[in-house]
Structure 1
Amino acid sequence: MNKIYKKLRQNTKGQYYLLSFCVFLSVLLVTSFSLMYFGPTVQDFLPEGGDTRKMAVLLLGVTAVGCFVFTVYAFGLFFRFKAREYGILMALGTEKKQLKKLLFQELSTVTALSSLVGLLISVPVSFLIWKLFELFIISNEQMTYRFGATGFLPGILFAFVLACVLGIAGRRFINRSDIMEILRTQQKTEMVKEIKGWTFPVGVVLTVLGLLLGASVKEVSARVFGIGLPGVVNLFYLLSLAGIYLILLSAVAQSRARKNRSKYYGNLVSISLMRFTAKATTKNMCVMTLLIFVCGFSAFYGMQYILAGGGVQTKNSKDFSLHYPVLEDQIGKKEIYDTASSYSIAVTDFTEHTATNLVVSYNAKDFDEETSRYIEVYRDKEMAAIFVSESDFEKISGQDITVAPGTYQTITTTDYNNFYEYEDGLQEVMNPDTEKTYPLTYGGTIENDVLAPFSEPFAYVVNDEAYREMTEGVQDAYKERVISFNAVNAEDSYDFARALLEQYVEHATDLSNHMGNWNIWAQKISDETGKEYGYGDRIHMTIDNNMLLGDWKYAPAFNIITVQDRMQLISVYVMLCLYIFIISLAAVSVMAYVRSISVVEDNKGLFESLTKLGADHRYKRNVLKKQIARIVQYPGIIGCVLTFVFAFIMNFMNDGRINSVETKALTLLTVMLVGMGIALYTIYKYSLYKAEKIVK
């Protein structure tokens, strides 16, 4: 029996290679993913309980599910090939017990060896991928690859689950009592049902409607009706899933002679082959379409992070800007110039001014949990905001502005667009010490990326006379020093920026040791009323705290460091997205190949009959090409179009427009989808080549 089995393995070694490759690839991808995520570098970098960790764990789960899907699919093809062998052996009197023992021996060997190789190769693969990403980030000691043995645990667990599933599938395969069912496994067909003409248009409508409703209904509800909808509205996306199924079912199973009867009857064999397996083929194509969508969208998602990955580098910003309480003995002009000189950095456009926190009363929007609606609220003297004089703003920004008496101008970031805050919402201002109030009217908006991030909801500009009047008698505790400057050779200023940041953190005291959302007036009100202030916690202010610049109220904005820190975070996201891209593309490739080979194997008898009826090689090849082309072509086209449409809708619904970064991302996505199309065409050509060999 061992000799017989050896001979059988030699005749079907391609199936063993495919099964081994799928197990190896899935274990490799899951393990290398987890090695990077659970490695000390990423674990030290990501904050505990943060959204990034939650997303990474979710993507790890998606990775495992994707790998599991295409590996189980390979299991199915393997057993389809084994069905005839085992059916004949059982018909000849071989006991199931003997066959079961032989099957489990070879399955155990294949799974164990493939998993072991995958686990071992995952270490250099994760290292090489990490090194690849170091080309896109500013490499430093914090982002050095560090091996973490904990990452092997998900891979080992995944390999164990695969082995168990393969064992269960093998047991079910052997325990079939009906020999004829095993022998006819490759000859099963479905009942042919008529597919109505409305199937395709209804499918298109459902697909588009699902995408539009899923991506826009929450935003439209909030912006137009002021109603906040729960996450259950995401179920609208299921309409798209139903629509995709109907589109594919129509493409696969709907066939009528219509006007061009000669073309219909000329392709009757090819059309009928699809119709006899319409349900199974459609389900397979649906999964492939969704995997192509996941593949394209994950790449697009990571690409957007890269395109938007820089610091604030606009005409309204400066290379270096910082603010801190005037009472704090911080670094100033002398320290900055001395440090710049030691690093051969030329400082230009240096400005140093004082801004004042004044108590504001303004209109805003809030979300009412009880009614699930966005409501208009008037925040009366609840917090303070930064104000600067007209002349100081002109020196900081280099812009000439005119602020009329009794008015204010709202300072926003470049291209600011926020539905939930009103640029014209400020009504009056109060001096926090004299408690005098000053009514103001809206005088316009001005963009400046130096001052805007320093104050919530906005920073404001008033004319010089109004500023002197409103800030008269304000104690220094409410005042802040604002420093900004450029560097001639900013791209070479990282070491200088790092040294300056170390000095800044070293000089920081409890006066500036506050969380990012801390507000001096809100803290004062909470202390006076005896209530706990939600943003009153202190932070860990050391240069080794890699989340310092994101969590600190008085964190400096040094573009070169912002770029590096953001790129470190981006590198984590992009690596995760790249893995999803690789896994999805691998799953699509395996499923397309497996389905193509299944179609050929299931219809070998048909091609033999066509030969006996006089069909030449060209006719048979044409039938084969159409079958395999449809398996790859339909999911490829629908998946790519779906990806682009969803990406466009998602970006448009963010703020009601497509900005320059999103335009670049959509353009690159188009190029990427074309590349995916080329990859799918390559899979088609290889599947056709193997299929032609099978049917000779």
Structure 2
Amino acid sequence: MTTSKIYQKMRKNARGQYLLLSFCAFLSVLLITAFALMYFGPTVQNFLPEGGDTRKMASLLLAATALGCFIFTLYASSMFFRYKSREYGILMALGLEKKNLRRLLFKELSVITAAASLAGLLCAMPVSYLIWKLFELFIISNEQMTYRFGAAGFLPGILFAACLALMLGLAARRFINKSDIMDILRTQHKTQMVKTVKGWILPVGIVLMFLGVALGSGLPQVAARVFKVNLPSAVNLFYLLTVMGIYLVLLSIVAQSRAGKNKEKYYKNLVSISLMRFTAKASTRNMCVIVLLIFVCCFASFYGMQYSLTPDLAKSDDFAFSLHYPALEKQIDQADVYRTAEKYDLKVEDFIQGQASNLVISYTATDISEDESRYVEKYYDQQKGALFLSASSYAAISGKKITVQEGTYKTVTSKDYKGFFDQVDGLDRVTNPDSGKSMKLAYGGSLEQNSLYAMSDPFAYVISDDDYSRMTRGLDQDYQENLIFFDVDDVERSYGFAKALLSQYVDRATARSNHMGYWDAWEEQQTQKAGKEYGYSDRIDMSMDNNLLLNDWKYAPGFQIIQLQDQMQLISVYVMLCLYICIIALAAVSVMTYVRSISVASDNKELFDSLEKLGADRAYRQKVLKRQLAKIFQYPTAIGCSLGFLFSLAMDISNDGRLAGTEFTALGILLGIIAAISAILFAVYRYALKRAQILIGI
């Protein structure tokens, strides 16, 4: 029999390993390319703001996707080389030289990688389209959300395939370059035991896991709010304590070697306990990766779901429609609103008009120091303007009678405001920009009104009628604004009406209102007087085709139904990306746990045969196998899901020191997702157990 025929026979016997490696490479390239095709497609790119945090996070998600795919392909390749060790040991014993083996192995890997990568690239486009259509069942589906192909998405897939080929080539070179035949033959049977694991390692590991999450997420907030210290990004290194804790906990579970107090139980399960100890290092590393991937799976799904939760318009007590625009601009009026509503068979309710004035403020706010090491209180003396209303005007708008003492002010905030940088009681003095008249004011409390809060930065303020009359006397109309608030009888079906009204509003907008969101007339004047360039002087492309109009325009109307619908389009894209990461991480975990389970069975087949010869019945051998596989699934799943929930909870609390209603809902959904992840991995466990039992003949 020739060497070629021997090699072909060996390859036929190891068909499963070739298929496994090919499948992992194919799946990795497929997932990366499908993700990239969606992400770099025109639809997603048009919705993600250029240079924004969302785009940065999406890029990180793409990197996390690549890392997850790379990890489970790398693991599959390690299993492949372990099985090849016996074949190559035999071939070397028959006299085949290393250079010939190297050529054979590289040829095989080249064919596998090229075929799997090409298949992955070709299948990526229909798969990405089907995934998009699947997500359309749960997200908004309209013309703007139509799937559009982006050829640039193939580049990450091709680059990933090249990196995969390079990785497999280096691993193959390392495998062939082993010192002698015995090293290759012993590759599949090497033990990786550790020294005796002390009893204190488990509790220390548990403490480190929780301590890392607590310090990493909570310490920056505590330092900022209590000690006014801005900690550097290096504080994120505290999360490494969690990784260390995971390793110690898993090492203690895998490599336990003491009988402890319950010696009878220990010796009764001695075979099951000792089996995993022989590969303690490899098992612990493998389970650590699984824990981290399950954590990524939980957190990515939570992060996406939290974005998808929006308030119920029917239960909102804010005005569904609000507008503010320069008083000198001829804009839509009450007649336009009622006429347009009639066309859409809607009834206008609680229509209110008012007026407000932009006055110059001197105030105190929390800011970052020049060296960015501390949070400091800074006093801003007449640097910008803010919107002021009289008490009677606010009462008419809110429908609530309020009392504002002369010489005091009330700050208008959003519902449940928990800001840190902007101080609700920071206003000190107000000045008329035309007359120069100034008045010192004292804080008199806060008022919650989302519509007004969104119209002025840092806040809108309410003062007494007499103070308002004195401070606005002689004020030019350039500093005054008209306000309109109203509701309709059926907000849920008012999208068409809102779009039509927005179109009229945009058409009538003039240069007076053509400003960016943070533009301030007084601030621009003072900056130009100082001979400096004003950063918010750019104009807005005011057209109905501008998707970001309502986010960038200072005088953008507050139409809740449009804001929620357009926001949901952006959120839907982001949710889709997050859930895609969840799916990829779960796929990686499923492949790794299954492969590990099969390797446990195949590596210990001789041991199970020996147990049978020693008189162990089928039930005992099945019990030993179940214990081995259960550890691979149970402990990583429990630790990964617990850390995913804990980290999500910590992130929500650290944002503003509390849990909002939507955050409670998101955490509840996360528990459901954790249950689903556990169910999927249990199904993988049952399938792996069945295959492992067949492999060892029980």
| Band of TM-score, shorter chain | over 0.9
Q: CA distance change for structure 1 residues 344 and 191 in 2, over 3 Å: closer, same or farther?
A: closer
Q: Secondary structure at the match of 1:362?
A: strand
Q: Secondary structure at the match of 2:511?
A: coil
Alignment partner, residue 273 of structure 1: 275
Are the counterparts in 2 of residues 358 and 432 from structure 1 also a CA contact under 8 Å?
yes
The 5-angstrom pairing of residues 329-408 of structure 1 reads 329-370=330-371, 372-408=373-409
Q: Secondary structure at the match of 1:657?
A: coil
Are the counterparts in 1 of residues 513 and 555 from structure 2 also a CA contact under 8 Å?
yes
Q: Secondary structure at the match of 2:450?
A: coil
Q: CA distance change for structure 1 residues 261 and 157 in 2, over 3 Å: closer, same or farther?
A: same
Are the counterparts in 1 of residues 228 and 374 from structure 2 also a CA contact under 8 Å?
yes
Tell me the C-alpha RMSD between the 2 structures. Answer: 1.8
Q: Are positions 1:12 and 2:14 aligned together?
A: yes
- For 2:173 and 2:528, the matched residues in 1 are separated by 69
Q: Are positions 1:233 and 2:235 aligned together?
A: yes
Alignment partner, residue 469 of structure 1: 470
Q: CA distance change for structure 1 residues 312 and 231 in 2, over 3 Å: closer, same or farther?
A: farther
- For 1:499 and 1:2, the matched residues in 2 are separated by 76
Alignment partner, residue 627 of structure 2: 626
Displacement of 1:9: 3.4
Displacement of 1:35: 0.4
Q: CA distance change for structure 1 residues 137 and 670 in 2, over 3 Å: closer, same or farther?
A: closer
Are the counterparts in 2 of residues 523 and 533 from structure 1 also a CA contact under 8 Å?
yes
- For 2:652 and 2:347, the matched residues in 1 are separated by 40
Displacement of 1:104: 3.5
**Structure 1, residues 235-279: CA drift from partner, whole Å, max 9, x if none?**
111111111111111111123222221111111111111222211
Displacement of 1:312: 7.6
- For 1:639 and 1:683, the matched residues in 2 are separated by 17
- For 1:339 and 1:315, the matched residues in 2 are separated by 23
Are the counterparts in 1 of residues 313 and 491 from structure 2 also a CA contact under 8 Å?
no
Displacement of 1:93: 2.5
Alignment partner, residue 542 of structure 1: 543
Number of paired residues? 695
Alignment partner, residue 449 of structure 1: 450
Residue type at the aligned position of 1:211: V
The 5-angstrom pairing of residues 511-550 of structure 1 reads 511-550=512-551
Are the counterparts in 2 of residues 354 and 479 from structure 1 also a CA contact under 8 Å?
yes
Displacement of 1:192: 4.3
Give the alignment partner of residue 198 of structure 1, picking from 157, 180, 200: 200
- For 1:230 and 1:384, the matched residues in 2 are separated by 33
- For 1:371 and 1:114, the matched residues in 2 are separated by 50
Of residues 373-382 and 93-102 in structure 1, the stretch that sits farther from structure 2 once superposed is 93-102
Alignment partner, residue 156 of structure 1: 158
Displacement of 1:294: 0.6
Alignment partner, residue 602 of structure 1: 603
Alignment partner, residue 45 of structure 2: 43
**Structure 1, residues 161-182: CA drift from partner, whole Å, max 9, x if none?**
2223223323333343511211
Q: Secondary structure at the match of 2:629?
A: helix
Displacement of 1:310: 4.9
Are the counterparts in 2 of residues 316 and 397 from structure 1 also a CA contact under 8 Å?
no
- For 1:424 and 1:603, the matched residues in 2 are separated by 71
Q: CA distance change for structure 1 residues 318 and 445 in 2, over 3 Å: closer, same or farther?
A: same
Residue type at the aligned position of 1:188: K
**Structure 1, residues 129-178: CA drift from partner, whole Å, max 9, x if none?**
22233334433322211111121111122122222322332333334351
- For 2:503 and 2:124, the matched residues in 1 are separated by 38
- For 2:136 and 2:175, the matched residues in 1 are separated by 48
The 5-angstrom pairing of residues 428-439 of structure 1 reads 428-439=429-440
Alignment partner, residue 664 of structure 2: 663
Are the counterparts in 2 of residues 211 and 237 from structure 1 also a CA contact under 8 Å?
yes
- For 1:421 and 1:445, the matched residues in 2 are separated by 13
Q: CA distance change for structure 1 residues 636 and 684 in 2, over 3 Å: closer, same or farther?
A: same
- For 1:10 and 1:71, the matched residues in 2 are separated by 22
Q: Secondary structure at the match of 1:201?
A: helix
- For 1:692 and 1:524, the matched residues in 2 are separated by 80
- For 1:230 and 1:415, the matched residues in 2 are separated by 29
Alignment partner, residue 683 of structure 2: 682
Q: CA distance change for structure 1 residues 44 and 191 in 2, over 3 Å: closer, same or farther?
A: closer
Alignment partner, residue 88 of structure 1: 90
Alignment partner, residue 306 of structure 1: 308
Are the counterparts in 2 of residues 245 and 282 from structure 1 also a CA contact under 8 Å?
yes
Are the counterparts in 2 of residues 316 and 447 from structure 1 also a CA contact under 8 Å?
no
Displacement of 1:541: 1.9
- For 1:192 and 1:501, the matched residues in 2 are separated by 69
Q: Unmatched 5+ residue regions in structure 1?
A: none
Residue type at the aligned position of 2:604: N
- For 1:314 and 1:508, the matched residues in 2 are separated by 32
Alignment partner, residue 134 of structure 1: 136
Q: Secondary structure at the match of 2:533?
A: coil
Q: Are positions 1:641 and 2:639 aligned together?
A: no
- For 1:685 and 1:311, the matched residues in 2 are separated by 42
**Structure 1, residues 454-490: CA drift from partner, whole Å, max 9, x if none?**
0011111122222222211111000011111112122
Q: Secondary structure at the match of 2:625?
A: helix
Alignment partner, residue 288 of structure 2: 286
**Structure 1, residues 200-225: CA drift from partner, whole Å, max 9, x if none?**
11111111111111001111111001
- For 1:193 and 1:637, the matched residues in 2 are separated by 26
Of residues 145-154 and 339-348 in structure 1, the stretch that sits farther from structure 2 once superposed is 339-348
Displacement of 1:106: 3.3
Residue type at the aligned position of 1:239: L
Q: Secondary structure at the match of 1:451?
A: helix
How much identity, in percent, do the aligned residues show?
60
Displacement of 1:30: 0.4
Give the alignment partner of residue 260 of structure 1, picking from 256, 259, 262: 262
Residue type at the aligned position of 1:168: L
Are the counterparts in 2 of residues 310 and 562 from structure 1 also a CA contact under 8 Å?
no
- For 2:138 and 2:560, the matched residues in 1 are separated by 17
